[in-house]
Chains A and B, each alone.
Chain A
Amino acid sequence: MGLESNVNQPFITTTMDSVINWGRQYSMWPLPFGTACCAIEFMGVVSSRYDISRFGAELVRFSPRQADLMLVMGTITHKMAPVIQQIYDQMPNPKWVLSMGACASSGGFYDNYSVVQGIDELIPVDVYVAGCPPRPENVLDAVCKIQQKISTEKAAAWR
């Protein structure tokens, strides 16, 4: 942002940072990249019992151009790897990635010829959620962790 680089006074920058981060963390728009069973668990997370909308991440956007949090839910095979790469590249900055479940975090149950052993071979991941599938509370905790991570960021770092 032009204002931050011109004004050299720390209190304005940090206040700007905190306002920008406050906006970003409490209104994350998830992009559900669901391929397998964890996507079904995610359907439970966005439903009324384990409500993800309490944390601001209500507006699920299926277009990467309009989302900022990519939730990779499910097994990613080598056939799918270029697709997930392309979708990640299509997301505008700032963007965060949450790897949900064992298959996305490490290949999980499937140590074989077709499964990518963890999506961090392809894209940078912010938070990994363990579980097969993780409990909805685990996913909500991961979203909270991403929110805490955002609160410590500098807004100019996403240039």
Chain B
Amino acid sequence: MDQASITEKMESRFGDAIIAKTDSCGQHAITVRAGDLLSVATHLRDDAELSMNMLVDIAGVDYLEFPLDENGEGRGWRYEVVYQFMSLGKNHRYRVKVAVDEDDLHVPTLATNWGVANWMEREVYDQFGVIFDGHKNLVRILNHHEFEGHPLRKDYPINRRQKLSKPIEHIIPEDPEWA
């Protein structure tokens, strides 16, 4: 299916949940609020025509320096968490973005359904500070355990270096499936 027809399908199903639509070099994306993420993602996976069973990537974006969107209007949110889905059988991709406000940094986790989301969400938490509800092991994954702050936010000075005094002891989380 081409991008336009997938977008049309999503609009007909989730009409008022979609707060923005974007097109970036041919890849369409819909923006939703955090509460609708799980229903959008499971629909993408379970629908027979779409069957997007693979979560390719989860990325974070900080729009602190880009407060206006493509139409020149105010964006209204600071962070976005971008989910890229792909269908292995039908060979098409789609993108879902979740708008996250500065004061409410909570997004439901997809790691219970897509195992790969575990570490990807830990990375978004580490670099941006977005908290994923339901993730049982949301700790830093890239930066060291004594690091304070979230470095990929635009207001973190890129040159600030934080030294590590000693390496972390090996920690096994309470639920080893969430390691």
Q: How many residues of A contact B (CB 8 A)?
A: 11
Kindly specify which of B65-73, B104-112, B157-165 makes contact with the partner chain: B157-165
Q: Which of A83-138 contact B (CB under 8 A)?
A: 83, 111-114, 116-117
- Do the beta carbons of A112 and B164 come within 8 Å of each other? no
**CA gap between A45 and B120 in the complex, in Å:** 36
Who on chain A is nearest to B168 by CB? A79
- Do the beta carbons of B160 and A82 come within 8 Å of each other? no
Nearest Cβ in chain A — how far from B170, in angstroms? 13
- Do the beta carbons of B161 and A113 come within 8 Å of each other? yes
A145 at the interface (CB under 8 A from B): no
Q: How many residues of B contact A (CB 8 A)?
A: 15
**CA gap between A116 and B161 in the complex, in Å:** 8
> Which residues of chain A are within 8 angstroms of B3 by Cβ–Cβ distance?
none
Q: Mark B123-149, 1 if CB is under 8 A from A, else 0.
A: 000000000000000000011100000
Given A113-B151, A113-B156, A114-B151, answer yes or no on A78-B167 (Cβ-Cβ < 8 Å).
no
Who on chain A is nearest to B163 by CB? A78
- Do the beta carbons of B165 and A113 come within 8 Å of each other? no
> Which residues of chain B are within 8 angstroms of A78 by Cβ–Cβ distance?
144, 161-164
Nearest Cβ in chain A — how far from B105, in angstroms? 20
**CA gap between A83 and B151 in the complex, in Å:** 22
A20 at the interface (CB under 8 A from B): no
- Do the beta carbons of A82 and B143 come within 8 Å of each other? no
A81 at the interface (CB under 8 A from B): yes
- Do the beta carbons of A113 and B144 come within 8 Å of each other? no
**CA gap between A83 and B167 in the complex, in Å:** 7
- Do the beta carbons of B158 and A82 come within 8 Å of each other? no
**CA gap between A99 and B166 in the complex, in Å:** 23
A81 in complex: contacting residue of B142, B151, B164, CB < 8 Å: B164
**CA gap between A111 and B142 in the complex, in Å:** 17
- Do the beta carbons of A79 and B164 come within 8 Å of each other? yes
> Which residues of chain B are within 8 angstroms of A81 by Cβ–Cβ distance?
163-164
B158 in complex: contacting residue of A79, A83, A113, CB < 8 Å: A113
**CA gap between A63 and B144 in the complex, in Å:** 25
**CA gap between A79 and B168 in the complex, in Å:** 9
Question: Residues of A at under 8 Å CB distance from B?
Answer: 78-79, 81-83, 111-114, 116-117
The 9 closest A-B CB pairs, nearest first, are A79-B144, A113-B151, A82-B167, A78-B164, A112-B158, A82-B166, A82-B164, A78-B163, A113-B160
